[in-house]
């Protein structure tokens, strides 16, 4: 028992040490006010409180975002935090931080906050109201799922943050400098090899560590020479394997085999009795072994015959002394004759009695004639229905559908077919479509919130109206019209200051009916500007010190975000 306790003593001590480290950290809570504002600190766009980004990554991020802000005024902030408690969710923390800093221009609300919480294993991208038209929530979610979280799952925060920010810049109309090799090059993934302290090692070991690149180069050269010297051996082994694949096929020295395949194309035929190779008959010798129907079938191309014989067993055989292989064609133009019992009948289409449609079979008159005997007849045969394309979209006639997709996407260019009769539906012209639309639909299409298309079935005469919702966050659904006919305008009632919050009036009006609604929203306080240093009218300093580290720096007096706000737009994702 004593020995057992001695063995587990290091494990217990290690566990207690880990608990002492974890519990104080979990007790710490981060507030929005404690997150350093990079614009106030040093006029940049990145705050890495979680310490997961390299200096090179931060430089590339600041360069991309600065160029975007210079070109079209859009502001992007990239923030990493260890956790977002005590806020109820990372989303609530992100929205609060966005409005606390005022990311984006005040009159345009064109800001984006890219937040990474390592403790929550969560990514949140908050968008201002002014850019939701060019960067909808669905596109944000796609960027997170395809560009950001896959590298994060591998522990590569540099790559995920760079590629995600680059995609945001492109979507927002920015241009990536293709001449900058630092932006084009993919950041190298974090090395899993532990760093070795060479200062405490012996001189010989330190020399090897410092010159290991040359040793690795010599090792690579040695491996290449070894590989080249083994090429002949590999080729011989490949030839031997290939020869081994050419296995023997044992067949009876007499008999017939009928098949649609060619079983011995890459194999040799051997006698099943004496195991000796078989000899193939020439065309004249083979013809003498075939019946008249078989000769006719080979002549019209319905069957191909081959004859094989065993030179050793042939004298002792009592029959034909050969083995006949018959390879049957896959063509439907040949049939077996009821009299000759061989594929000597050819089929020929005489006339189509009834054309097939999308939901009804057709009928044709076929002439059958045997080339060996006097058998011939004319039969009526069914023609299968026409088959819709594999990528067809089936629409129900006399119904309406609504999709949140762009009208010009590849999905909407697929052919449309009627669900009831399978007929291809025809697109209705713009003028004729107006007679099928309701007044709210006409108004919504006029203001650009939706696009409408109609397809009519030429067989059922039914019409299907399909609605494509273009910008669901810019326009809103009217409770009376049940359509996206409501537009919103924002009017500032009380401007926000650094000491007090402001108020704005959101006015919602339906462009089709008399629906009107007004609601008041709070504008968060403006960020406190950095204090100016004495004797310097162009610069200021700011610092921060807290549980998660300390930051300090200086910036221009104008080094702050533009005072934008967000109403919760954007998307998030976990890794």
Q: pLDDT tens-digit profile of 377-405?
A: 999 999 999 999 988 999 999 999 888 76
**CA nearest 40: which of 101, 100, 92?**
101
- Is the pLDDT at 251 greater than 50, yes or no? yes
Does any domain span residue 130? yes
79 and 128 share one domain: yes
**Which of 311, 332, 353 delimits the end of a domain?**
332
- Return the DSSP state at 425: P
pLDDT digits (tens, 9 = 90+) for 489-530: 888 888 888 778 888 898 999 999 999 999 888 888 776 654
42/177 same-domain check:
yes
- Binned at pLDDT 50, 70 and 90, residue 317 comes out as confident
The larger pLDDT score, comparing residue 358 to residue 406, is at 358
* Helical (H) or strand (E) element with 318: none
Measured distance CA(357)–CA(506) in Å, rounded: 57
| Residue 213 resides in a domain | no
> Token pair of 265, please?
């194309």
Looking at the chain, the whole-number percentage of residues with pLDDT higher than 90 is 42
Residue 200, pLDDT score:
44
Asked if pLDDT for residue 14 goes beyond 60, the answer is no
**271, 278 Cβ separation under 8 angstroms:** yes
- Flag whether pLDDT at 208 surpasses 80: no
Flag whether 410 is in a domain. Answer: yes
In order, the DSSP letters of 280-347 are E--HHHHHTTS-HHHHHHHHHTSEEEEEEE-TTTGGG--S---EEEEEE---TTEE--TTT-SS-EEE
Query: Is residue 275 domain-shared with residue 323, that is, in the same domain?
Result: yes
Please report which confidence band the pLDDT of residue 218 belongs to, taking 50, 70 and 90 as the band edges.
confident
Instruction: Say whether pLDDT at 74 is over 50.
Output: yes
Mean pLDDT check: name the lowest of 115-124, 353-362, 408-417, 514-523. Answer: 408-417
Query: How far, in Å, CA of 385 to CA of 376, rounded?
Result: 28
d(Cα 144, Cα 572) in Å, to the nearest integer?
7
Phi, psi of 293 (to 5 degrees): -60, -35
Q: Which of 505, 526, 528 is nearest to 517 (CA)?
A: 505
Structural domain contains residue 337 = no
State which residues form the domain around 139.
Answer: 28-188+561-574
Q: Which residues contact residue 146 at a Cβ distance below 8 angstroms, ignoring those fewer than 6 apart?
A: none
Mean pLDDT of the chain: 80
Is the same domain home to 80 and 178? Answer: yes
* Domain assignment present for 260: yes
pLDDT score, position 155: 86
The arithmetic mean of pLDDT across residues 462-487, rounded, is 86
How high is the pLDDT of residue 73? 86
Question: Same structural domain for residues 308 and 413?
Answer: no
- Position 473 scores a pLDDT of 64
Residue 16 has pLDDT above 50, yes or no: no
184, 290: one domain? no
Residue 106: strand, helix, or coil? coil
Same domain membership, residue 95 and residue 120:
yes
Please calculate the CA angle 4-5-8 and round it to the nearest 5 degrees: 90
- Cβ neighbourhood burial of 387 (10 Å; 0-12, 13-18, 19+): exposed
Residues 54 and 119 occupy one common structural domain: yes
CA distance 456 to 426: 5
Task: Give the residue from 339, 320, 414 showing the smallest Cα distance to 377.
Answer: 339
| Backbone CA torsion sign across 94, 96, 97, 103 | positive
Cα torsion 95, 101, 107, 112: sign: negative
CA atoms of 59 and 53, how far apart (whole Å):
10
pLDDT digits (tens, 9 = 90+) for 154-201: 889 999 999 999 999 988 876 555 434 344 444 444 444 444 444 444
Q: Which of 417, 446, 476 is where one domain is finished?
A: 476
For Cα atoms 563, 567, 570, give the angle at the middle one, nearest 5 degrees: 105
Among 332, 361, 382, the domain boundary falls at 332
* CA distance linking residue 48 with residue 35, whole number of Å: 10
Output the six-digit token pair for 209. 């560590």
Q: How many domains does the chain have?
A: 4
Task: Record the tokens describing residue 282, joined without a space.
Answer: 């020439």
Rounded-to-5 percentages of helix, strand, coil across the chain: 30, 30, 40
Average of per-residue pLDDT across 399-416: 75
pLDDT tens profile 102-141:
898 887 888 999 999 998 899 999 998 888 878 888 889 9
């Amino acid at each position: 028992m004593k020995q057992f306790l001695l063995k587990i003593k290091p494990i217990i001590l290690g566990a207690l040490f880990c608990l002492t480290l974890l519990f104080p950290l979990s007790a710490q809570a981060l507030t929005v006010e404690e997150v350093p504002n990079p614009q106030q600190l040093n006029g940049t766009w990145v705050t890495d409180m979680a310490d997961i980004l390299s200096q090179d990554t931060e430089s590339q991020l600041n360069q991309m975002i600065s160029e975007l802000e210079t070109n079209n005024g859009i502001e992007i902030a990239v923030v990493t935090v260890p956790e977002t408690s005590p806020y109820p969710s990372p989303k609530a923390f992100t929205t609060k931080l966005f409005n606390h800093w005022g990311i984006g221009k005040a009159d345009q609300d064109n800001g984006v906050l890219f937040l990474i919480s390592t403790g929550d294993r969560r990514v949140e991208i908050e968008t201002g109201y002014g850019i939701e038209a060019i960067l909808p929530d669905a596109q944000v979610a796609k960027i997170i799922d395809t560009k950001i979280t896959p590298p994060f799952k591998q522990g590569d925060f540099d790559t995920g943050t760079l590629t995600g920010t680059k995609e945001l810049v492109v979507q927002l109309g920015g241009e990536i400098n293709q001449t900058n090799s630092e932006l084009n090059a993919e950041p190298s993934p974090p090395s899993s090899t532990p760093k070795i302290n060479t200062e405490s090692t012996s001189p010989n070991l330190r020399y090897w560590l410092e010159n290991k690149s040359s040793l690795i180069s010599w090792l690579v050269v040695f491996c290449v020479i070894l590989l080249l010297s083994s090429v002949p051996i590999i080729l011989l082994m490949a030839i031997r394997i290939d020869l081994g694949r050419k296995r023997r096929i044992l067949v009876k020295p007499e008999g017939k085999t009928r098949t649609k395949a060619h079983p011995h194309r890459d194999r040799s035929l051997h006698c099943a009795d004496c195991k000796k190779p078989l000899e193939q008959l020439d065309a004249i010798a083979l013809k003498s072994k075939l019946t008249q129907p078989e000769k006719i079938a080979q002549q019209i191309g319905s069957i191909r015959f081959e004859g094989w014989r065993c030179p050793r067993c042939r004298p002792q055989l009592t029959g034909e002394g050969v083995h006949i292989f018959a390879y049957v064609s896959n063509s439907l133009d040949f049939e077996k004759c009821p009299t000759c019992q061989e594929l000597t009948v050819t089929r020929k289409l005489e006339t189509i009695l009834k054309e097939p449609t999308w939901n009804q079979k057709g009928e044709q008159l076929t002439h059958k004639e045997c080339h060996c005997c006097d058998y011939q007849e004319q039969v009526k045969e069914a023609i299968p229905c026409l088959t819709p394309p594999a990528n067809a979209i089936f629409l129900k006639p006399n119904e309406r559908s609504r999709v949140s997709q762009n009208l010009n996407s590849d999905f909407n260019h697929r052919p449309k077919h009627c669900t009831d009769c399978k007929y291809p539906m025809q697109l209705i012209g713009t003028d004729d479509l107006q007679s099928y639309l309701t007044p709210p639909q006409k108004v919504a299409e006029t203001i650009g919130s939706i696009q409408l298309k109609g397809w009519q079935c030429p067989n059922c005469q039914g019409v299907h109206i399909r609605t494509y919702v273009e910008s669901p966050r810019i326009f809103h659904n009217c409770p009376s019209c049940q359509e996206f006919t409501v537009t919103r305008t924002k009017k500032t009632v009380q401007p926000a200051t650094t000491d007090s919050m402001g108020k704005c009036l959101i006015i919602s009006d339906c462009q089709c009916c008399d629906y009107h609604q007004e609601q008041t929203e709070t504008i968060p306080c403006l960020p406190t500007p950095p204090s100016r240093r004495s004797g310097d009218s162009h610069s200021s300093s700011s610092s921060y010190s807290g549980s998660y580290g300390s930051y300090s720096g200086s910036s221009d007096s104008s080094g702050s975000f533009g005072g934008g706000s967000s109403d919760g737009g954007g998307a998030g994702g976990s890794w």
